[in-house]
Structures are given as structure tokens and as C-alpha cells.
Amino acid sequence: MSFQPPAYPYERLDGLKATASTFEGGAIDCSIGTPIDPPPDFVIEELARGVGAREYPPSAGTADFRDAAAGWINRRFGLTVAPGDLAACVGTKEFVASLAGYLHLRSPERDTVLYPAVSYPTYAMGATLAGLRAVPVALVNGQLDVSSIDPRDAERALVLWANSPANPSGFLDDLEGVALWGRTNDVLIASDECYCEFTWTSPARTILEHGDDGVLAVHSISKRSNLAGFRAGFYAGDREIVKYLRSVRQHAGLMVPGPIQAAAALAYNDDEHVVVQRSRYLSRLEFLSHALKALEVDAPMPEGAFYLWCSKEGLDGWELAALLAERSGLVVSPGELYGDSARDYVRIAVVQPDERLELAAARLEAS
């Protein structure tokens, strides 16, 4: 076999889960950013109607889905995006993993994917799955240091991924500066903005505020509306790139199921449920950030997203993860899963109900 897939990152946490599960009341799994709170009732009711279940759904998205996504962009960012200039994707992880391969078909003379040195593993894996080079870009204060990119890598680059707010660190990037670098170097910028509804130090931002030439913004219903199981998102930006991707993805048979699109459109048309979810996450972040002081863990509040990016003097990420499992039953993700330069950190997703986080805090205090 010429390609042996590596172990899936979160499968490496089984030992931590076994340790944490020894507590009465069991483990409190904060390792994966899977929403735990209920989605809006009206969205589930729409899903149950099964609209569009009998026919093949349009790969680019139904008119209702695209109208709703465009309307949300207008409300959230004050931008006008034509529904025809965006398209659906089968959850943004699928899009992240497949984008490089499709871009390489379009520009076979380029073979490199640039991505943040500390980031969601799928950016690099997308390059690997397409048989391409994955080159990490250094971060300074959590932002892409585009000045550090080797010009030879820029010449070979198909895309530079940005992620703001960032998974795992929660930092906000300079999207205007990243877009400018992309245009100057003729490199597409793909901006993963799936956590944009959850920014704590400034308003939500999108790279589309700085023009759509040479950029894509990628958005998801998963985090915004607690609908990760829907596998529905969309991408918008450079008209030529969107048109090309719509065509090639149609040939690949990538389609969000019709009933999902109908329900997701209602979710994008409503903002009230997101306000409620923002309040939940902010409260949990503040609560757990304070509770971790019992173990002298440095867990500053993030600029965005719903993760705490934590460290403890004298311990690497795996050691800190083991300590938290032993003392509180918390299962967290060691920073190594997000890049070699993150080895001294852990990521904690505040996706457990309040009472479970309160239990973790009580265990920390008792330890």
C-alpha cells in the first residue's frame, strides 16, 4: 500500500478517556467541538416534512438555501452577495479536504497548500489526500505571518488557508492583510469562518469585506445552529472560482440532501437562536477559565470560538491532558494534534452542559 492513512487524531485519546471514566459520574468529554445544545425546534420540524426528499437536490444548493445564505451574509456583515455567487457544500470539512485536489486539476503547475502552523488538521490532510505538498505558515500572536512564506512556496501555492476565529487557539486573524498578500502573490485565500458567530473581542468579520477577488469564505451551519449532523455549509467569493467549483463538484455528485437544505435555510433566516447560543458559550468559557485556576492552569479567554487554549508551566500538552483527566475527569485535546509548535498546549471545547462543567469544577476544587 503506497498510502497508509494516519490514525485519526481523536482516536489517540482513548487512554485519556479511560482515565477520566474512573470518576463517579464518568468522563466529561471536551475534546471535540461537537455541539451539545438543542437546535431550533422549527428547523427540526421542517426537516421532518421531508421537502425535496424524492428528487436529486441541486449540487450548488436550492434557490431557498442560497437565498437564505446570501441573506445571512447581508445581515451579519452588511454585504451584498448574489445567491448565484455562492454554493452549498456537504459540511465544510468535506470542502476543506477536497478543495486542494480540485484546484490542482485547474492549475496542475501548482502543487502546494499553505496552512496555519497551528490549526485544524484537515487543511494539511487535504493536501495529502490530493498528493500535494502541505507547507505550514508560522503564526505571530495567533495571526498568519505571511511575511515568513518562502517566495518559492508562494509560486507553487494553490491556496493559503486562513481560519478566524481560529481552531484551536481562538485568535482572530488580519483578514485584510491576508487577502492583500494573496492578491499580491496570485494565491487564492480560503478563509474558514465557521466560528464567526462566536467572536468575543470584536464584531464578526469575513474576508469578503475586503473584496471577493481571489478569496473564498467558507461557512457552516454546524456551530452556528447546533446542526453538525446536517453536514451543510456554503462557500462564496471569487466568481470564477465559485463557478469552477460548482461545476466540478456537480460532476463529483456532491449534494446536500434536499430536506437538509430546506431546514438549513430556515436556520440561516433566523438569528435569535444564535444569540442564545452565544450567551451559553460565553458563560461556559468564563466559568471554566476561572475553575482551571485551581490547578494553576493558564486558560485565558479567547478572542473567538468556543475553545480554551490552555497551558501549565512544566508540562507538555499530553501531560496536562493526563493531569486534567486524573483530577477532574475532563477529556481534552493535546495541542500536538494541531501542529508540532503547539505541543505545550491543550484545547478544551466548552460543549458540555453547564451541570457537567460544574461537576468538573467541583472535582478540580476537591483535588
Q: Would you state the cell numbers that stand for residue 112, as one nine-digit string?
A: 502546494
Which CATH class name applies to 9-30+272-366? alpha beta
* Per-residue pLDDT at 115: 98
What are the pLDDT digits (tens) for 249-273?
A: 999 999 999 999 999 999 999 999 9
Confidence of residue 185 (pLDDT cuts 50, 70, 90): very high
Indicate the residue type of 129: L
Q: How far apart are CA 72 and CA 89, in angstroms?
A: 16
Whole-prediction pTM: 0.95
- 136 has which bridge partners? 115
- Which residues does 247 contact at the CB level (< 8 Å), separation at least 6? none
First-to-last C-alpha distance (Å) of the chain: 48
- Which residues does 276 contact at the CB level (< 8 Å), separation at least 6? none
Confidence of residue 1 (pLDDT cuts 50, 70, 90): low
* Per-residue pLDDT at 5: 85
* Per-residue pLDDT at 6: 84
DSSP per position, 134-148: EEEE-EETTEE-GGG
Question: For residue 27, with 0-12 CB atoms within 10 Å meaning exposed, 13-18 middle and 19 or more buried, which class applies?
Answer: buried
What are the pLDDT digits (tens) for 205-237?
A: 999 999 999 999 999 999 999 999 999 999 999
Q: What is the CATH number of domain 41-268?
A: 3.40.640.10
Mean local confidence (pLDDT), 195-214:
96
Domain layout of the chain by residue ranges: 9-30+272-366, 41-268
Mean per-residue pLDDT over the chain, rounded: 96
The helix/strand/coil state of 304 is strand
DSSP per position, 103-116: HHHH-TT--EEEEE
